[in-house]
């Protein structure tokens, strides 16, 4: 008979999430929901918040699939498949090797539930950045309470 050690399930509330910008002056901030650094998983899940006009730099991932689920706001994705409009309820899956940019084209912040599987050190990049916080606009858009 073999025995395995089960990992404990994890529950967090809004007040426990770490929030970072990758560098000072960046137009996107990241709310770490599931973090391989602390949660013993091989993926990362964040809420990515794009300021008005904010965008990701062009990027691609060696082995990771990246998903963006639009929660609030408007934007576009530029991928190998062309330009894709993003609005609440849209889901974008970018496959490994696919160069992509996500840009906020709306008049309010753009909020995406973003996952990268596997992590490819994305969480470490986020954590190496500048600590930030959620403001009242974020809390209202996400329907969260402090």
Q: Which domain holds residue 24?
A: 16-142
Is pLDDT above 70 for 1? no
Determine contact, residues 52/60, Cβ cutoff 8 Å: no
C-alpha span between 3 and 112 (Å, rounded): 39
C-alpha span between 76 and 132 (Å, rounded): 25
The predicted model scores a pTM of 0.93
In a domain, 122, yes or no: yes
Give the count of domains, the chain: 1
C-alpha span between 65 and 63 (Å, rounded): 7
Q: What is the CATH number of the domain that holds 51?
A: 2.60.120.10
Per-residue confidence (pLDDT) for residue 146, from 0 to 100:
65
In a domain, 1, yes or no: no
Distance of CA 15 to the CA centre of its chain: 17
Determine contact, residues 91/68, Cβ cutoff 8 Å: yes
Question: Average pLDDT of 115-133?
Answer: 97
């Amino acid at each position: 008979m073999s025995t395995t050690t089960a990992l404990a399930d994890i529950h967090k509330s809004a007040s426990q999430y770490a929030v970072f910008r990758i560098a000072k002056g960046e137009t996107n901030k990241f709310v770490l929901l599931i973090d391989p650094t602390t949660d013993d998983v091989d993926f990362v899940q964040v809420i990515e918040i794009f300021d008005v006009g904010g965008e990701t730099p062009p990027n691609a991932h060696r082995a990771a699939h990246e998903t963006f689920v639009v929660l609030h706001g408007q934007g576009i994705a530029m991928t190998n498949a062309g330009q894709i409009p993003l609005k609440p309820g849209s889901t974008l899956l970018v496959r490994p090797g696919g160069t992509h940019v996500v840009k906020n084209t709306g008049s309010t912040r753009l909020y995406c539930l973003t996952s990268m599987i596997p992590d490819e050190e994305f969480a470490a990049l986020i954590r190496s950045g500048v600590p930030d916080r959620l403001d009242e606009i974020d809390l209202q858009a996400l329907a969260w309470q402090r």
